[in-house]
């Protein structure tokens, strides 16, 4: 798989994988995780298994609202709790703002957390780009990360979107063949979608 550097790359990746995909999240206790789960659920139709000892209220709420998409697994014994605790400590270590930001700049990725997005918008030059002597570019992160909260993905999992997509393709072909003008194609597409 090619590196995911932009939301277009992420969108292409999700479109390329099978419609049935499940993502496991261990110790989902913070708001960042909730945001990612909700967004992937709503925009990509992703399915989740949330593994936790004490699940946050939002996890139970999402699971009850989306029983086919979200499964919550609670630890039942001390060994499971210890394993979850170890994984949780790793994630706390990995997602430490500066450490995670360093990894994002090194690999050329956009961060998935708000604190790293904010940090890199003014501190990316403190981190090296992998395989070179170059440093990160705060302006790059400021521009891209500033847009992320307002990004909208195509609702690929909704049947209505597929109708729109197919309609665009059909009318686009008619324009390319010269049988109708671009304006007529747009008008026809809008009329067919609006009903």
**End of a domain among 94, 112, 128?**
94
Q: Is residue 55 within 8 Å of residue 28, measured between CB atoms?
A: yes
- pLDDT, tens only, 131-166: 889 999 999 999 888 887 777 766 766 777 777 878
N-term to C-term CA, the chain: 40
Q: Is residue 34 within 8 Å of residue 58, measured between CB atoms?
A: yes
Q: What pLDDT, on a 0 to 100 scale, did the predictor assign at position 33?
A: 76
Q: Report if residue 1 sits inside a domain.
A: no
- Mean model confidence pLDDT for the chain: 79
Residue 185 has pLDDT above 60, yes or no: yes
Residue 104 has pLDDT above 80, yes or no: yes
Residues 34, 87, single domain; the answer is yes
List the CATH number of the domain containing 73: 3.40.50
Q: Is residue 168 within 8 Å of residue 182, measured between CB atoms?
A: no
Q: Of the segments 1-10, 73-82, 119-128, 179-188, which one has the largest average pLDDT value? A: 119-128
Residue 23 has pLDDT above 80, yes or no: no
- pLDDT, tens only, 29-55: 777 777 778 877 777 777 777 777 666
Residues 47, 84, single domain; the answer is yes
Is pTM beyond 0.75? Reply is: no
Q: Is residue 150 within 8 Å of residue 158, measured between CB atoms?
A: no
More confident residue, 75 or 122: 122
Q: Which domain holds residue 26?
A: 17-94
Residues 141, 186, single domain; the answer is no
Q: Is residue 110 within 8 Å of residue 140, measured between CB atoms?
A: no
Instruction: Tell me the mean pLDDT in the region 166-181.
Output: 87
């Amino acid at each position: 798989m090619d590196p995911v550097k932009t939301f277009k790359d992420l969108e292409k990746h999700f479109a390329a994988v099978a419609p049935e995909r499940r993502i496991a999240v261990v110790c989902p206790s913070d708001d960042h995780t909730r945001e990612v789960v909700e967004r992937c659920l709503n925009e990509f139709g992703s399915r989740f298994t949330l593994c936790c000892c004490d699940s946050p209220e939002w996890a139970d709420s999402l699971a009850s609202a989306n029983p086919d998409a979200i499964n919550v697994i609670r630890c039942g014994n001390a060994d499971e709790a210890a394993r979850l605790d170890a994984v949780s400590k790793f994630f706390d270590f990995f997602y430490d703002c500066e450490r995670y930001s360093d990894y994002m700049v090194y690999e050329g990725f956009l961060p998935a957390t708000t604190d790293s997005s904010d940090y890199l918008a003014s501190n990316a030059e403190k981190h090296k780009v992998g395989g070179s002597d170059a440093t990160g570019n705060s302006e790059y992160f400021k521009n891209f990360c500033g847009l992320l909260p307002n990004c909208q993905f195509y609702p690929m999992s909704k049947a209505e979107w597929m109708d729109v997509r197919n309609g665009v393709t059909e009318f686009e072909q008619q324009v390319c063949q010269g049988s109708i003008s671009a304006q007529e194609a747009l008008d026809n597409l809008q009329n067919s979608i609006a009903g």
